[in-house]
Amino acid sequence: MTYLSAKHRKEAGVHYTPKILADFVTKQILNSWLSKPRTKQIRLLDPAVGDGQLLLSLLEGLWTRNYSDIKVSGFDTSKAAVESARIKIQESFSEISLELACDDFLEFVLMNYAPNGQYSLFTTGPREPFDIVIANPPYVRTQVMGKEKAQTIARQFSLSGRVDLYYAFIAGIAHILRPGGIAGIIVSNRFLTTKSGASVRKSIIEKFNILHIWDLGDTRLFEAAVLPAVLLLERKTGKEQTSPKFTSIYSVSDVNPDQYSENVIAALEKDGIIEVENGNCYCVQQGNLKYGKNPAKVWSVITEDSEGWLARVKENTFCTFGDVGKIRVGVKTTADKVFIRSNWQQMPEGERPELLRPLTTHHIAQRFKAIRPKNQREILYPHQVINGKRIAVNLHDYPRAAKYLHFYRSVLEKREYVLKAGRQWYEIWVPQDPEAWKHPKVVFRDITEKPTFWMDLSGSVVNGDCYWLVAKKPEQVDLLWLILAIGNSSFIESFYDYKFNNKLYAGRRRFITQYVEKFPLLDPDTEISQHIIRTTKNIYDLIPSSKSSAMEQKLDQLVWEAFDLSGEKIAG
């Protein structure tokens, strides 16, 4: 049963838990809980009850293990969901003590937290903290919550940066879970590898022993496009967990399976390439969680094979892509219909604005060398650099551009955040460095199955659907050609999967700053690197032709050989 419309569910970050996943989380919680001394009463909490499936699965698991003295508490901001969950739970487990509230869990934590760790749940006076928490917190990103609310939540729960709502839920759970208590939490897997997730990674390390993390990748267990992870956590007692387990599962294609499982949940018990009942294949990796003291570092699975592989790469790494130059996202106008067009040249010359520049977008993306479109997109770019400082141009100096922009002034002024930032009404919101566009630059796509890096020598502006890199020093242009070769190689696919282990649906990877800046670069002065640079330039000159395709295969082999890893590609 759906209690909210699709629109409201998206806004509220609501993704009800399928039974197969609820049963899996329950199993993992109980495997850890049953190893502890048995208590007379068990206090359970679900801070985002939804349709009640998580509590139902957990109660069933406890009941079959002869636990009957159970007190259940829960929150949800949907009154209809709370009432429906109450009815279903009472029908199946009438003997238990049940208290569900149509209320905000985070507000409850903030209003009832006491220095001694005791809380008041729906009544006055302290009560014992909870033994077990099972949760699928709402997934609401900063952009949906709004900046002000996100900052408030971050401040209240000692988080920093761009805060997703489930970050605060994890911090809140740490407050209400007793030392030694167990939590099974379903979250988005984004926090494992993004910069914005650093604060919640830090919070988890400080407050919990991590028992196991399952990155469920693109298993499509939810109706919506959610890439989930399951966290099995123990509230710290002073005893540190030294070797957390990590399991990942991602779809693969064009590979022969090693084993068969009934479904993706059953596949989580195995290791290797697993075929499931519907014919899809998944790569399952069993290992340990790799994380350091620095919470900014991504969390990923580490196995003996991957550890040795990455160590070999490190031995042959001269520097990283990020050492060559700062990796930036492209410009963001927040008014593309005004600033970006493909038909500027059809306007009469006397009306066509000055300040037009060619624009590179993902539409012209192609490995090594961009496609030349018939109708080149151009951007009206009203920014310049004077005495080393970026400023908006003076429209009086550009009468045609001024006339055009004034026609759309009411539209542009609706971007109140531009004006509040002390900027001119006709500015692009994120213009980047106007002086950098003229230099040779490597451009690459954000989301793609295969890495797509190309060289731009046209001086174009890069749009916000792509990332770009200019060498810090003009004499280091050859490093860009080396980056181009490595960035487009199958080697970098393997490096990405070993190092970051994060894909979207259908095997697509995200090539964003925090990943690409860590890509390894070879010593440019070695003989094989010089060979790679020459070959990359030749490919660029020959595109499009059959010769360039053959050379790309040769170049790919050279990259593997340069890292002393020839023939050691990984599946998927």
Cα-Cα end-to-end distance for the chain: 37
pLDDT digits (tens, 9 = 90+) for 330-342: 999 999 999 999 9
- The tokens for 224 are 């919506």
Q: How many CB atoms lie within 10 A of CB 532?
A: 24
Helix 477-487, helix 546-562: angle, nearest 10: 90
Amino acid at 547: K
Beta strands 447-448; 509-510: pairing state: antiparallel
pLDDT of residue 567: 54
Report whether pLDDT(27) > 80.
yes
Residue 567: exposure state from Cβ atoms within 10 A (0-12, 13-18, ≥19): exposed
Beta strands 389-392; 259-260: pairing state: unpaired
pLDDT of residue 224: 57
pLDDT of residue 6: 46
Amino acid at 224: A
Q: Is the torsion defined by CA of 250, 254, 255, 257 positive or negative? A: positive
Contact 305, 198 (CB under 8 A): no
Q: How far, in Å, are 17, 264, 275, 367 from residue 24 at the CA level?
A: 11, 11, 19, 42
Contact 174, 106 (CB under 8 A): no
- The tokens for 257 are 């399976």
Q: How many CB atoms lie within 10 A of CB 182?
A: 27
pLDDT digits (tens, 9 = 90+) for 164-222: 888 889 999 998 999 999 999 999 888 888 888 888 898 899 899 999 999 998 888 87
The neighbouring-strand residues paired with 454 are 368, 443
Q: pLDDT-derived band of residue 113, with 50, 70 and 90 as boundaries?
A: low
Cβ neighbours of residue 49 under 8 Å, at least 6 residues apart?
55, 74, 75, 76, 81, 82, 85, 100
Amino acid at 340: I
> pTM of the prediction?
0.77
Nearest Cα residue to 442 out of 452, 434, 454, 433: 454
Report whether pLDDT(8) > 50.
no
pLDDT of residue 373: 85
Contact 332, 429 (CB under 8 A): yes
How large is the average pLDDT for residues 258-263? 92
Which residue matches tokens 């007692």? 237
Q: Is the torsion defined by CA of 9, 13, 15, 16 positive or negative? A: negative
Average pLDDT, the chain: 87
pLDDT of residue 497: 87
Question: Percent of the chain having pLDDT more than 70?
Answer: 90
Contact 532, 555 (CB under 8 A): yes
Find out whether the peptide bond into 544 is cis, omega within 30 degrees of 0.
yes
Helix 19-33, helix 53-63: angle, nearest 10: 40
CA distance 459 to 399: 24
Contact 59, 92 (CB under 8 A): yes
Nearest Cα residue to 101 out of 48, 154, 58, 22: 48
Q: CATH number of the domain at 13-253+283-302, please?
A: 3.40.50.150
Nearest Cα residue to 21 out of 222, 271, 269, 278: 222
- The residue among 473 and 558 whose pLDDT is bigger is 558
